[in-house]
Amino acid sequence: MAPKSTSSKATTVSPSSNPVLALWKSYNEQTPDRLRFIDAFLVFLMLTGVIQFVYCVLVTNFPFNAFLAGFSSTVGQFVLTASLRSQVDPENKNEFKEVSPERAFADFAFGSIVLHFFVFNFLG
Amino acid sequence: MATAYTLPDISPTAVKNTASLVRIVALALISGAAIASRLFAVINFESIIHEFDPWFNYRATKVLASQGFYEFWNWFDPTAWYPLGRVVGGTVYPGLMATSGVIYNVLHKLNLPVDIRNICVLLAPGFSALTAWATYMFTKEMKDASAGLLAAAFIGITPGYISRSVAGSYDNEAIAIFLLMFTFFLWIKAVKLGSALYGSLAALFYFYMVAAWGGYAFITNMIPVHALTLMLMGRYSSRLYVAYCSWYAIGTLSSMQVPFVGFQPVRTSEHMGALGVFGLLQIVAFAQLARAHMSSKQFKDLLFYSVIGIGLIGAGGFVGLTYMGWIAPWTGRFYSLWDTGYAKKYIPIIASVSEHQPTAWPSFFMDLQLLIFLFPAGVILCFRELRDEHVFVIIYALVGSYFAGVMVRLMLTLTPCVCVSAAVAFSSLLDTYLDPAKPEVPVVEETAPATASKPAATATATGTSAIDDVVNAAKKSGKRGIFDLDTRLIIVFNAFCMLSFFVLHCTWVTSNAYSSPSVVLASQNQDGSQHIIDDFREAYYWLRQNTPETSVVMSWWDYGYQIAGMADRPTLVDNNTWNNTHIATVGKAMASTEEVAYPILRKHDVEYVLVIFGGLIGYSGDDINKFLWMVRISQGVWPDEIQEPNYFTPQGEYRVDDRASATMKNSLMYKMSYYRFAELFGGSKQAMDRVRNQRLPTVSPTLDYLDEAFTSENWIVRIYQVKKEDPLGRDLKSANAFTDGKKRKRSKPVSRRRAIM
């Protein structure tokens, strides 16, 4: 994400007609396994959130606090995981000078515990 | 390198250790000063709760302390808003009560059996010390520890903050300013480090703030505006993403746990800015990620089609949902901050509060003294070194100044920002003039006198050559000059004097203006001794001891909390103005004739009516002066029955003497206030209203439907008892006329009307 890595990466990508395909290809080539694992979790969270939202729109939002608790647990977990992802991304070393990957994981655990405390409190 | 003075030779570790010791001592002293300067009211008078709102907080805290947290959480108060009752647990910010409850329990566990009242009285001074510490931490992030110490000292004693946090002022603001500053500190720290830990902590303190004060909306909008500004300045970074998302995700969910807030964070316009920035950040973050994987041309295509598309759909969604009514528009209280004429036109109850008026210039100086002059300088210094956190202070300064200009009570949220930026400015000044290093003067200037005489330099010579001469002369003489010790000493001495005057000013303002409990009124006797007027408590305790516990007292809403707190009687309306119609009913009863008011009183089971009357001793905050607001508020609900112009003389004056309009003279409020007032002066023409400065008619008004039950020593509080219906079924007016021996007029039909129940 840092600007200087952008230029070096961009040159290695072979120009393709479809930007989405190019993005997919480049992602597969360049992302370390750890980050891909996180990304799989992110996709799972996103799907869960979409299902909940569709259920809320199509069927009912009746226990509105339960919907909000469930939906914000997926959204909150998503952004916390995305934060973890950008913190442990080796390309972002310069930005997070004081946050080591271990520290980032501890932060992630702390944030998730707090989040889920409030989620369970709000489920009602 | 030349120096203005030489420093003693001490090892760096010794300097470091001494510095940290000095910091600790300074912070301890600042805390001491912050607490001590808030105790004027306790020492001069006694340890009681001031003002109106704190009485409710105190009553709720007593419930919490005596019955436990669950009882408090589910507390339904049947005595407030008499026929309706009030669900306290769901209509209150419980942070303040919970804090005192925790302190109470901890002290009792430690075998320190402190009365809950003393905890409530001394909570604000205690938290002001914490505010000073939080401001120190915040300012340390802006500049350095020395600026932090200055800021802590400033906020410790500045009257702008003391006014809301003297001992006895047990209001939400007492802990809210500490939470505000600490949340901002954690937010700044989170943005700086990009740490989810600090983001989560910021969310936790944000939760505490939401539980404590309705002003949490300020944080809810300040942080998104900061994040948005950083993005627009092209300063987006992953650190911002981490900080904002962890704050928003946890903070929003936690804020919804407070029952009074409920689903507002997803359903009202005040909170939509935060949600919008959250969505925008996701888009920007994804765009940044995609950018790292693509060539710039492809990235442009992708950006154009998808990212902007998503953004437009999101923005359109907000607008659509607002128009469809799913997202509630701005509430009146917040809307009146933007449209300053709105409240006066449509919601008189908001405009009627004196704290909701615009601020005058003198009150800025009175509350902040020299800080108000240093404030812009500090903001400009923030511009010069524009780091991410400086952007925050700049935005805070702009927003805070605007709000403080619109509303007097929002001076409180401006004060921390003023202290921070004034401290930055002041400490830059001291840094410049205490740093012994002298800048190296270019050699060219050594020959300045020579060049000045040359024609080439004459364009600017007239002005500069004189200065150059002085500089060079000083250089030769050694110890005098712009960069030398004498100049520095003058500046530093001047700065020291300014700070001393600031301390004097703060102490003076605090002791004279902000340390008077409004429950007791103090006046000076001829010989300078103090005379205490204690009519409020006299009357409230009369109510408490001489009336049945279930008798309902009607008064204007200002006194609702005090009656409930001190007299312990049910009230019709109180300071929590949630039901405008109910207040308008009381206003209508006060503003109409006895015949109209009596059925209203009977329908609401009112047994006592309480009015505040300051005409005898010149207490200007009485009900006759508030009367026009009662008229206006009830006019909003019953425009046919109550009309404001009827209460003025034909010339449009608001008078209480002979020339007062008939409607005014017949209104219940007028009659209750001036009942027997003329007789007090022996029925002569001497009956003088000391507040309005008008001579009253020699004959006092008569009351047919009410009996005077109690009048306090200085006639400030007058309590009337509502008569029961006549046992013979006559209306009370003719019954009274009969008792007085007046003959009923033949022409009138016999009245057998009863009051409509």
The predicted-structure confidence for B697-747, as pLDDT tens digits, reads as follows 888 888 989 999 999 999 999 999 999 988 888 888 888 888 887 765 555
Whether residue B422 has pLDDT greater than 90: yes
Q: Does residue A7 belong to any structural domain of this protein?
A: no
Whichever domain contains B643, its CATH number is 3.40.50.12610
Q: Does B499 touch chain A (CB under 8 A)?
A: no
Q: Does residue B698 belong to any structural domain of this protein?
A: yes
Q: Does residue A83 belong to any structural domain of this protein?
A: yes
Neighbours of A81 (CB within 10 A): 19
Write out pLDDT tens, residues B59-73.
999 999 999 999 999
Nearest chain B residue to A30 by CA: give it: B293
Average pLDDT over residues B619-637: 91
Write out pLDDT tens, residues B349-405.
777 777 788 899 999 999 998 999 999 999 999 999 999 999 999 999 999 999 999
Q: Does B242 touch chain A (CB under 8 A)?
A: yes
Whether residue B487 has pLDDT greater than 90: no
| Residues of chain B positioned with their CB less than 8 A from the CB of A23 | 290, 293-294, 298, 302
Q: Does B275 touch chain A (CB under 8 A)?
A: no
Report the residue of A79, A112, A114 to disrupt the B interface, i.e. the one with the largest count of B CBs within 10 Å: A79
Q: Report the pLDDT value the prediction gives residue A4, as an integer from 0 to 100.
A: 39
Number of domains in chain B: 2
B124 contacts B166 by C-beta, under 8 angstroms? yes
For residue A48, give how far its alpha carbon lies from the nearest alpha carbon of chain B (Å).
Answer: 17
For residue A55, give how far its alpha carbon lies from the nearest alpha carbon of chain B (Å).
Answer: 18
As a whole-number percent, the residues of chain B with pLDDT over 70 amount to 92
Q: Does residue B661 belong to any structural domain of this protein?
A: yes
- Identify the domain containing residue B567 by its residue range: 533-739
Whether residue A16 has pLDDT greater than 60: no
| Partner-chain residue, chosen from A64, A89, A99, that has the shortest CB–CB distance to B263 | A64
Nearest chain B residue to A24 by CA: give it: B293
- Identify the domain containing residue A77 by its residue range: 33-123
Q: Report the pLDDT value the prediction gives residue B498, as an integer from 0 to 100.
A: 94
Residue (of B78, B185, A104) closest to A96 by Cα position: A104
Give the whole-angstrom CA distance, residue B636 versus residue B630.
Answer: 10
Cβ of B194 and A122 within 8 Å? no
For residue A90, give how far its alpha carbon lies from the nearest alpha carbon of chain B (Å).
Answer: 13
B142/B341: higher pLDDT = B142
Cβ of B238 and A1 within 8 Å? yes
Q: Report the pLDDT value the prediction gives residue A5, as an integer from 0 to 100.
A: 39
What is the pTM (predicted TM-score) of this model? 0.88
Write out pLDDT tens, residues B11-33.
999 999 999 999 999 999 999 99
Q: Does residue A111 belong to any structural domain of this protein?
A: yes
Write out pLDDT tens, residues B423-437.
999 999 999 888 888
Which range has the top average pLDDT, A9-18, B152-161, B570-579?
Answer: B152-161
Report residue B681's pLDDT band, with 50, 70 and 90 as the boundaries.
Answer: confident
Give the whole-angstrom CA distance, residue B315 versus residue B678.
Answer: 67
Cβ of A115 and B285 within 8 Å? no
Q: Report the pLDDT value the prediction gives residue B738, as an integer from 0 to 100.
A: 83
As a whole-number percent, the residues of chain B with pLDDT over 90 amount to 62
Among residues B297, B329, B361, the one where a domain terminates is B329
Residue (of B281, B280, B255) closest to B268 by Cα position: B255
Whether residue B463 has pLDDT greater than 90: no
Among residues B302, B329, B356, the one where a domain terminates is B329
The CA-based dihedral angle spanning residues B129, B133, B134, B136, taken in that order and rounded to the nearest 10 degrees: 140
For residue B259, give how far its alpha carbon lies from the nearest alpha carbon of chain A (Å).
Answer: 11
Number of domains in chain A: 1
DSSP codes joined into one string, B79-103: TSTTTT-EETTTSS-THHHHHHHHH
> Backbone phi, then psi, for B467, in 5-degree steps?
-65, -45
Report residue B321's pLDDT band, with 50, 70 and 90 as the boundaries.
Answer: confident
Q: Does B257 touch chain A (CB under 8 A)?
A: yes
Check if the interface score ipTM surpasses 0.90: no
Q: Report the pLDDT value the prediction gives residue B754, as an integer from 0 to 100.
A: 58
Whether residue B469 has pLDDT greater than 60: no
| Residues of chain A positioned with their CB less than 8 A from the CB of B277 | none
Q: Does residue A100 belong to any structural domain of this protein?
A: yes
Cβ of B294 and A72 within 8 Å? no
Q: Does residue A41 belong to any structural domain of this protein?
A: yes
Whether residue B468 has pLDDT greater than 80: no
Sequence-ordered list of residues with C-beta below 8 angstroms from that of A53, at least 6 positions apart, any chain = A71
- Counting one residue from A and one from B, how many pairs have CB atoms under 8 Å apart? 133
* Lowest-confidence pick of A95-99, B251-255, B408-412, B478-482: B478-482
Report residue B449's pLDDT band, with 50, 70 and 90 as the boundaries.
Answer: very low
Q: Where are the beta strands (DSSP E) in B421-478?
A: none
Average pLDDT over residues B651-678: 90
Whether residue B282 has pLDDT greater than 80: yes
Rg (CA), chain B: 32
Q: Report the pLDDT value the prediction gives residue B287, as an integer from 0 to 100.
A: 85
Q: Report the pLDDT value the prediction gives residue B728, as an integer from 0 to 100.
A: 85
Q: Does residue B337 belong to any structural domain of this protein?
A: no
Average pLDDT over residues B742-753: 57
Q: Does residue A26 belong to any structural domain of this protein?
A: no
Report the residue of B189, B238, B255 to disrupt the A interface, i.e. the one with the largest count of A CBs within 10 Å: B238
Cβ of A72 and B295 within 8 Å? no
B151: left (phi over 0), alpha (psi -120 to 50) or beta: alpha
Average pLDDT over residues B296-305: 76
Write out pLDDT tens, residues B114-134.
999 999 999 999 999 999 999
